[in-house]
Amino acid sequence: MAVAQHRTTLQEYITSEWRANGLNRGLDAVIMAIAEGSRRVQLQVQQAALADALGATGETNVQGEIVQRLDAASSEIFVETLTGSGHVAAIGCEEIEDPVIIDADAADGYIVLMDPLDGSSNIDVAVSIGSIFGIWRKDPGEVVTDESLLRPGNQQVAAAYVVYGSSTVLVLATEDSVCGFTLDPETGTFAVTHPNIRIPDDCPYYSTNEGNNKVLDEATRKAIGLLRDQYSQRYVGSLVADFHRNLLKGGIFAYPADLNRKEGRLRLMYEANPLGYVAEQAGGAASTGYGRIMDVVPEKLHQRTPLILGNKDVVEATVSVINGG
C-alpha cells in the first residue's frame, strides 16, 4: 500500500519559512488563529440546517444588510480565536459597527480587518462561501485607537482568505509568496496543496453581475461588453469563490461603480484590500476603476469601493475603457 505522502502543514510552513527571518514575530499566531477559526466555521457550514445554522437572525448590520446566523457565528468565532492569539491589537469586522480594540499596545501586535462570512446570499443554498482577512502590523510602541484601522491596503503585511467549497482552502499571501493550504477534515489541519500561486497569463473567465448592465454608464457598459465578447462568464455571487477560481485558472472579477452605487458595492477594508494584496502578490492587479485599490486612503471602516480584480493585463485594459480609452 502506498505510504501516504507527508504534506507540509500550515504550522510547519510558517515555522520553517518565517522563523528564519524573524520579521513576522507574532504573525504566525495570528495566521494559526485564522486557520483554527476557519476550521470551526467550516464545521458549521457543513452541518448547516442540521445545526440550525441557516437563515437570518432578524437583525440588520451596519451595512443595512440582513444578518445571517452564519455571519454572526463566524464573526464571534474569529474574534475569539484572534483574541486568543495574543498578538491582535484590534479587529475591524464587517458585522461589527465599531473597531474591536483587543490589546491596544500589544507587543508584536497586528490589526486584522475581516469579512468573516463572504457570500451570505449563498449560505442557505449550499453554494461556496468564504472568509477574508487583511493584516496590518501596528507600529512598535503604538497605542491602537479606532483611527489606527484606517491604514491603506499598501501597508498590509499579509492577507488571507478561506473558501468553504467542495474542499476548504486557505490561501495566504505574504511579502514573499502566495500559498494555498487544504483542510484535512479528518485531522482538522491545513496542509500545503497550492505552493507559489501565480495568476496565469491566460484569462478564460470574467465574473460580473450582468444584471447591473442597465445601470452602468456608457464607458463601463462598453468595458463589460468587451469582456463578454472575449471570455466565458462565471459568477458565483461569492467574491471569494469567484476570485479563487480566477486566481488559479486566470480571469477577471468586476464589480464597477454604477448609477445606483457610485461608491461601488464591495467593501474596501476587508474585501478589496485583502484580495487586492493577494492578487498583486500573485502577479495580478486590483483597481477601483480609477486607481490602485491599495493606494486608497480610507476614511471610514465600512466604506465601499468599485473593484476590478485579477489578471493584470485584463484589469488594465478594462480600466482604460472605463476611463474612455
Beta carbon nearer to ligand AHG, 83 or 209 = 209
Binding site for Mn ion (CB under 5 A): 94, 115, 117-118
Nearest to residue 112, comparing CAs of 31, 35, 23? 31
> Which of Mn ion, ligand AHG, none has residue 209 at its interface (CB below 5 to 8 Å by kind)?
ligand AHG
Return the exposure string of 21-50: e unless at least 16 CB atoms fall within 10 Å of the residue's CB, then b.
Answer: eeebebbbbbbbbbbbbbbbbbebbeeeee
Beta carbon nearer to ligand AHG, 44 or 238 = 238
Residue number, nearest CB to Mn ion: 118
Rounded-to-integer distance, Cα 154 and Cα 138, Å: 14
Nearest to residue 78, comparing CAs of 91, 87, 65? 91
Q: Which helix (H) or strand (E) holds 297?
A: none
Beta carbon nearer to ligand AHG, 109 or 116 = 116
Minimum gap (Å) between residue 117 Cβ and Mn ion: 5
| Residues 6 or more apart whose Cβ sits within 8 Å of residue 221 | 213
Minimum gap (Å) between residue 150 Cβ and ligand AHG: 20
Minimum gap (Å) between residue 325 Cβ and ligand AHG: 26
Backbone angles phi, psi at 180, to 5 degrees: -110, 140
> Which of ligand AHG, Mn ion, none has residue 200 at its interface (CB below 5 to 8 Å by kind)?
none
CB 163 within 8 A of CB 106: no
Beta carbon nearer to ligand AHG, 93 or 322 = 93
Beta carbon nearer to ligand AHG, 36 or 115 = 115
Beta carbon nearer to Mn ion, 258 or 271 = 271
CB 197 within 8 A of CB 178: yes
Binding site for ligand AHG (CB under 6 A): 65, 94, 115, 118-121, 209, 237-239, 265
Partnered with residue 93 across adjacent β-strands are 96, 114
Minimum gap (Å) between residue 120 Cβ and Mn ion: 5
Nearest to residue 288, comparing CAs of 215, 228, 234, 220? 220
Minimum gap (Å) between residue 61 Cβ and Mn ion: 9
Minimum gap (Å) between residue 68 Cβ and ligand AHG: 8
> Which of Mn ion, ligand AHG, none has residue 204 at its interface (CB below 5 to 8 Å by kind)?
none
The C-alpha cell 518565517 sits at: 18
